[in-house]
Chains A and B, each alone.
Chain A
Amino acid sequence: MGAQTEELPSQDVEESTSLDMPWNVVVHNDPVNLMSYVTHVFRLVFGYTNEKARRHMMEVHKNGRSIVWSGPRERAELYVQQLHGHLLLATIEQT
């Protein structure tokens, strides 16, 4: 009994740490979307400067993907929803 009560909190701590891990919003390359359009959407959705938006766009273009935002899961899902509304290929993934 004593051993069991010692193990359970340890599992709880692990789970809590996992839930607290930030989630990434990832945008994937799509040959159809214009570079200027992708930059425009990043500015619109995240309020990024033109320079930062362009940097992420170039990362998508060259590397096939870019982590454009990290944070709580709920907000990450909302950002992906917005990006899908602008027809970008976006997913969430846990860090």
Chain B
Amino acid sequence: MTFAQTTDGTFAVRKIPEPFLEMLKAIPRWNDSSGPEAEARFYPPPADNDADLLDDWKAHVQPGLYDIFLDSRSTVLADLATITGKTGNFSLDIPIQHAPAWLNALNQARLAIAATYDFTEKELSKPAPAKLTTARQIARLEMDFFAAIQEWIIDGLEDAPPPEPEDPADQD
């Protein structure tokens, strides 16, 4: 598998083997079908011991967050639908404009996997096991694979001009 950025900034993944293709295709599923633990992690409380703020947050902020996550998932799904190639040699293009959506969706997927399999900090500090015989071990590898893509995209974005800070008022 190769990772390269084209001159127009597109993140190009080439020679994707079948198992990794399946992992990529699973990203939207992790974004969508997470259990209650993952849901709790996607929507953490904004403060400790402030019931009024929490109620307000659930009513007015969480729907906006849900939309952000849904947009990211839709963007990733659309890019996954453009995958070309044949067995052992699939290709994926991620336009640079879609990079934030991919970072978001990959992070969400990793959080969902960690919550689903209840990985400890100690487990996460070690590399994925070489032996892959259980769903848990495969999930751990999936986390590392998604992390590698995140690192690659971040590196690619860091080479671009510094980002303008987001305007918090835009999210009203």
A→B interface (CB under 8 Å)? 30-34, 36-37, 40, 43-47, 50, 75, 77-82, 84-87, 89-93
Contact = CB atoms under 8 A, between A and B. Distances in A.
Given A32-B114, A34-B150, A37-B150, 14 more contacts: A30-B111, A32-B111, A32-B143, A40-B154, A40-B157, A40-B158, A45-B168, A47-B163, A77-B53, A81-B171, A82-B171, A84-B43, A87-B108, A92-B46
Contact of B107 (A87, A90, A93): A87
Q: Contact residue range for chain B?
A: 35 or more
Main secondary structure of the interface of A (DSSP, over half): helix
Nearest to A87: B107
A14 B97 CA distance: 49
B46 A77 contact: yes
A75 B171 CA distance: 11
Interface in B144-159: 147, 150-151, 154-155, 157-158
14 contacts: A32-B124, A37-B103, A37-B154, A44-B165, A46-B165, A50-B158, A77-B53, A78-B168, A78-B169, A78-B172, A82-B168, A85-B64, A89-B44, A91-B46
